[in-house]
Amino acid sequence: MTGVARQTAQSSSTSVAGTDRVRQPVPPRILLVGGSDHDLRIPFLLELAKMGFDVAAAGTCSSDPFARNGIRYYPYSFDRFANPLADWRALRDLRRIIAEHKPDIVHSFDTKPGILVPAAARARPGTHVMRTINGLGWLFSSQSLPARALRPAFNILHRATAPWTTLTVFQNRSDEAFFKERHMIGRGGSCLIPGSGADIANFEKRRSEGPSAEELRTALGLADAEVVITVTRLSRIKGIPALLEAAALVYAVRPGVRFLLVGSRETEGKLAVTQAEIDRHAPYVMAIGPRSDVPSLLSMADIFAFPTELCEGVPRVLLEAGLAGLPIVTTNMPGCPDVVEDGESGFVVTAGQPRQLADRILDLLHDRDSAHEMGQRARRRVVQTFSLEAIVDAYATAYERLAAGATAQTKTESAQTGSVDHPARQQAHAMIPENLPTANPSRSEHFGGNRNANV
């Protein structure tokens, strides 16, 4: 057991106080399963480890970041798109990983793991399954024939695996309502925890250690241009074609503007925008690929645009843009209005409408004082509502209640979270259903770990 896996997981110790012997409960073993961006949850895992949880991860990304942080990692693979053979292989791999790691709780993120993990964990009785629905993704965003054809299968599979799921966590109310209406939540009920948390300290550290705004502007040839930035996969479903059209409209009014596209195009298959589409908008659109200095790039920019046409959870990039103090223009797709308050911390426009997108970007460029005020409100909202500490505390509450082996009773709670001084941190206990189905009655000890929170 390495790094963040706590020594307390190795044995259950006793201590003597006079004639009393106090048994220290064994921390639950938690396996968090995700996809290609699972490494972005490393700060989340490290915070859980600090609280005393025994954590490990399984994902489809590189193992290197996990190894550097001392986190046990199990690689597996699955296809983000429809591929029954690849899905069967992923199910087989997850069954093997769960059997090898022997977790008390398996927690899934992302669309396919949300279906595959409950099915895989069924082979090991006594394992709690917790799933986070972080957006409904391409399947319910695209109007293509394949997407519409697959939606009934998605609903059927979630209903089929719901009985094996102890708790479902939603990141926004839209997804929660969707699952409730279709009876896909399962026996353990649900709760709302908005996002995976913004690691404020790490963001500030990366920003301070990265290149300065002047250095970046010089390196990218931006000089004193007005910069509109987006950080996302360069995919059609992420609204990049609409952003390119909007960029042309803005450029016609303000020829000094530059649009900076940060993110991968090659990973998007048939959904990727072509290089030729981007090149048609030179010189006012620049695609610079994925970058490791995103906090510095955000700090250099004037506006953050997020034109997504995808059913999101709580987009991490919106949280980082808010931390950078940028005014945001985004769309009305699920998850985005949960972060951006229209007219307060930015603007929310109709997805797929380049003219609306362009008009709001121009509004911010014309009125820089109002844009600055919106950016400051965006930062305050992220700090107050989406801090990593508060999000982790809410999840820790759920893990502890699952490990406590509460008696079965369906209950649904929803609440917003905040940092340690905000209502949700004080009310983490109320966020999570108190009575959850028992996966293994023999594991009935409550784990207190090293936490001081009110749970």
Tens digit of each residue's pLDDT (9 = 90 or more) over 88-124: 999 999 999 999 999 999 999 988 899 999 999 998 8
**pLDDT score of 443:** 34
Tokens 């599979």 sit on residue: 157
SS3 318: helix
Ranges of each domain in the chain: 7-11+23-197+387-431, 200-385
Residue 255 pLDDT greater than 50, yes or no: yes
- By DSSP bridging, strand 14-17 and strand 20-23 are antiparallel
E strand spans, 333-441: 346-349, 413-414
Is residue 305 within 8 Å of 361, Cβ to Cβ? yes
DSSP state of 87: H
Residue of 153 and 218 predicted with greater confidence: 218
| Same CATH fold assignment for domains 7-11+23-197+387-431 and 200-385 | yes
Q: Which two tokens stand for residue 204?
A: 């500030």
Strands of the sheet with 257-262, listed across from one edge: 285-289, 257-262, 226-231, 303-306, 328-331, 346-349
Where does residue 223 rank: exposed (0-12), middle (13-18), buried (19+ CB within 10 A)? Answer: exposed
Reported as a pLDDT band with limits 50, 70 and 90, residue 367 is very high
Tokens 């391409």 sit on residue: 138
Distance separating alpha carbons of residues 306 and 434, to the nearest angstrom: 37
**pLDDT score of 450:** 40
Q: Is the dihedral of CA 171, 177, 183, 188 positive or negative?
A: positive
Tens digit of each residue's pLDDT (9 = 90 or more) over 274-300: 999 999 999 999 999 999 999 999 999
Strand partners, 22: 15
**pLDDT score of 330:** 98
Residue 439 pLDDT greater than 50, yes or no: yes
- First vs last Cα of the chain: how many Å apart? 27
Residue 231 pLDDT greater than 90, yes or no: yes
* Size (the chain), residues: 455
Q: Which two tokens stand for residue 98?
A: 């769960």
**pLDDT score of 250:** 98
Is residue 22 within 8 Å of 65, Cβ to Cβ? no
Assigned CATH topology for domain 7-11+23-197+387-431: Rossmann fold (3.40.50)
**CATH assignment of 200-385, given 3.40.50.2000, 3.40.1160.10, 3.90.1150.10, 3.60.15.10?**
3.40.50.2000
Query: What is 218-244 written as a DSSP string?
Result: HHHT-TT-EEEEEES--BGGGTHHHHH
Q: Confirm whether pTM is higher than 0.85.
A: no
SS3 426: helix
